[in-house]
Structure 1
Amino acid sequence: MAPSRNRRPGFSRRAQYGLFLGYVIAVAGSLVGAVLLALATLDPPAFAALRASMAEVTTPVSSGIAGVGRGIASVPSSIGSYVAVRDKNVALQKQLDDIHAMLMRARSLSYENRRLKSLLHMREYIAGPVVAARLVSSSAASTRRYAVLNAGSWQGVRVGQPVRGPEGLIGRILETGPNSSRVLLLSDPESIVPVRRTRDGLPALAAGRGDGLLDIRSAASAAIAFEPGDVFVTSGAGGIYSPNVPVAQVIRRSRDIALARTYAQPDTLDFALVQQAFMPPEPPAPAPPSKSAPAP
């Protein structure tokens, strides 16, 4: 028998109240969505303040959910480590030996670098860290790429400060609240970072694409060849990002514009370091002209 077209809940009070409550919730949700859309279009500063307030409310919940998720996700890896403990110990011992050899090589290079710098009387300005905080969430499905940091203005975080992780640069602070802040990631379309190629010092610009990757464009001249594996670090130009911080690596051969992958992946990071904005050294003041002795 075909179902009846009559949608009335009958004489049940509970069914009638449930249907009425469903309609009320749907209408209220539509009204709230329309008000938020109008507020974001007509008054962006007020919408930003409302969004910051919501972030203050949801950041503790996100932190708790992220902790529970990390605990649940670590159970399979713990079981696998327990089963394959012998093979893993052998691999870790080999990795430790390789790291020890790299450490010895890095110490010798660091000593030679310090000696050359002392000979050239160079001064290096390094932006000091502000705070180390946890990345509680990051956008992965939208064209706009943001992350939420559980530190804000009460911890000394300011708009425009760079954010980096153990692997390299993550982005910069876009908005701050008392105990949370939003980070503009490198892969966001609004992000542009001055960089240079490590093998020849080629100046370039790293621009976000919105899909998790970067476009590398040469800032010196056109028709520049990019090779897979080319590494780009911050150049220090612009006064925001300190120099020599790893940014991205080219993934395929191209000319003029190269496709690159960022070193730091926010969705795999737990903690990030907020630094002071870098200020390049001022040029030396010109020496005053020497006064010549008056003729007798």
Structure 2
Amino acid sequence: MARSPDRRPGFSRRAQTSQFIGYVVAIAGAIVGAALLVMSRYDPPTFRALRSGAAELTVPISTALGSANGALAAVPDAIGGWFRLHGENERMRAELVTTGRLLTRARVLGHENARLRRLLALRDGATDAVVTARLVSSTAGSTRRFGLLNAGFLQGVREGQPVEGPDGLVGRVVEVGPDSARVLLLIDAESLIPVQRAGDGLPGIVAGRGDALVDIRAVNPAAGEVRPGDLFVTSGIGGIYAPGVPVTRVVRRSGDGGLGRPLAEPDTLDVAIVRHAFLPPPPPARNAVPPVLRRGKP
């Protein structure tokens, strides 16, 4: 069947209008193109002016379209970068946690190393050390405060010997067994230690309270007042503790004296040194035997 020569797009009014407008635009474009071609041939200045004007009109549009294309092209990179940075952030957070744990462990080991070095220097520099032993336990739930050493008279420990730690005085031995010894801690309520203030030698007494602090009482309050921050060391009076051993530091005033915190805390101490007493105890007194007078002689 031969095709109908009628090219109208059916009976649709919209289709007919669209086809007509297409024809008009095509004819107008051809006319404008021909006119521009003739103008470029016979009137170049005018053609250049029109071309420049068209460029001025199209440059902002091209710039906007280029920016839009760049923004759209950057969207996948931004999404990928977000996921990449999120993963990197999580990895760095995990590394920070691991590094923090290692740093904490390094600080603990450094503190322990420094403490053991001080203890080693204390032991090597002393000629009156009896034995280095572990403070295996200490009472903390009652007013009486004792510690237990894992060394006894088989290791040379005797009653009345002072016990020191890396930071200062711990107490003195009160009971001795074959391989163990009981230490009266300086924080015990029955503990009294003669001391003097470092620097000016102000004499005083450190008395235990049964808790984490000690009372510091000046022997002569008129000679000077106890101030926070003062360091008190053993005075050597009494013959048990050698002079110059750090005992406590004042934390605040209390009446005519002050409250101090022991420099050697038994709750955190694990190694201690037992020393000979500063002055050995006097020998036991012998019973005097009256002279026997021989008969017949004066």
Q: What is the alpha-carbon distance in structure 1 between the residues aligned to residue 136 and residue 206 of structure 2?
A: 25
State the secondary structure of the residue aligned to 1:84: helix
Q: CA deviation at 1:213?
A: 1.2
Q: CA deviation at 1:86?
A: 7.8
State the secondary structure of the residue aligned to 2:154: helix
Q: Which residue of 2 aligns with 1:164?
A: 164
Q: Which amino acid aligns with 1:171?
A: G
Q: Which residue of 2 aligns with 1:226?
A: 226
Q: What is the alpha-carbon distance in structure 2 between the residues aligned to residue 130 and residue 184 of structure 1?
A: 17
Q: Which residue of 2 aligns with 1:150?
A: 150
Compared CA separation, residues 171 and 89, structure 1 to 2 (3 A): closer
Q: CA deviation at 1:270?
A: 1.2
Long gaps (5+) in structure 1: 1-79, 100-125, 281-296
Q: Which residue of 1 aligns with 2:267?
A: 267
In the alignment, structure 1 residue 249 sits paired with structure 2 residue 249: yes
Q: Which amino acid aligns with 1:187?
A: I
Long gaps (5+) in structure 2: 1-95, 115-125, 281-298
In the alignment, structure 1 residue 200 sits paired with structure 2 residue 216: no
Q: Which amino acid aligns with 2:151?
A: A
Give runs of aligned pairs for residues 1-296 of structure 1, distance below 5 A: 83-84=99-100, 128-222=128-222, 224-279=224-279
Compared CA separation, residues 86 and 188, structure 1 to 2 (3 A): closer
The percent identity for this pair of structures is: 56
Q: What is the alpha-carbon distance in structure 2 between the residues aligned to residue 91 and residue 180 of structure 1?
A: 33
Q: What is the alpha-carbon distance in structure 2 between the residues aligned to residue 163 and residue 175 of structure 1?
A: 13
| TM-score using structure 2 length | 0.52
Q: What is the alpha-carbon distance in structure 1 between the residues aligned to residue 165 and residue 219 of structure 2?
A: 26
Q: Deviations over 1:200-253 (max 9, x none)?
A: 210000010111211111113448422111100001111100111100010013
Q: Which residue of 2 aligns with 1:73?
A: none
- Please say if residues 81 and 88 of structure 1, whose CA atoms lie closer than 8 Å, have aligned partners that are also in contact: no
Q: Which amino acid aligns with 1:84?
A: G
CA RMSD of aligned residues (A): 3.0
Q: Which amino acid aligns with 2:156?
A: G
Q: CA deviation at 1:85?
A: 6.9
Compared CA separation, residues 91 and 172, structure 1 to 2 (3 A): closer
- Please say if residues 225 and 254 of structure 1, whose CA atoms lie closer than 8 Å, have aligned partners that are also in contact: no
Compared CA separation, residues 209 and 89, structure 1 to 2 (3 A): closer
Q: What is the alpha-carbon distance in structure 1 between the residues aligned to residue 106 and residue 134 of structure 2?
A: 32
Compared CA separation, residues 130 and 252, structure 1 to 2 (3 A): same
- Please say if residues 218 and 226 of structure 2, whose CA atoms lie closer than 8 Å, have aligned partners that are also in contact: no
Compared CA separation, residues 201 and 90, structure 1 to 2 (3 A): same
Compared CA separation, residues 210 and 81, structure 1 to 2 (3 A): farther
| TM-score using structure 1 length | 0.53
Q: Which residue of 2 aligns with 1:103?
A: none
State the secondary structure of the residue aligned to 1:212: coil
Give the total of aligned pairs.
172
- Please say if residues 224 and 255 of structure 1, whose CA atoms lie closer than 8 Å, have aligned partners that are also in contact: no
Q: CA deviation at 1:81?
A: 9.3
- Please say if residues 131 and 275 of structure 2, whose CA atoms lie closer than 8 Å, have aligned partners that are also in contact: yes
Compared CA separation, residues 224 and 154, structure 1 to 2 (3 A): same
RCO higher in 1 or 2 (8 Å CA, sep ≥ 6)? Answer: 1
State the secondary structure of the residue aligned to 2:178: coil
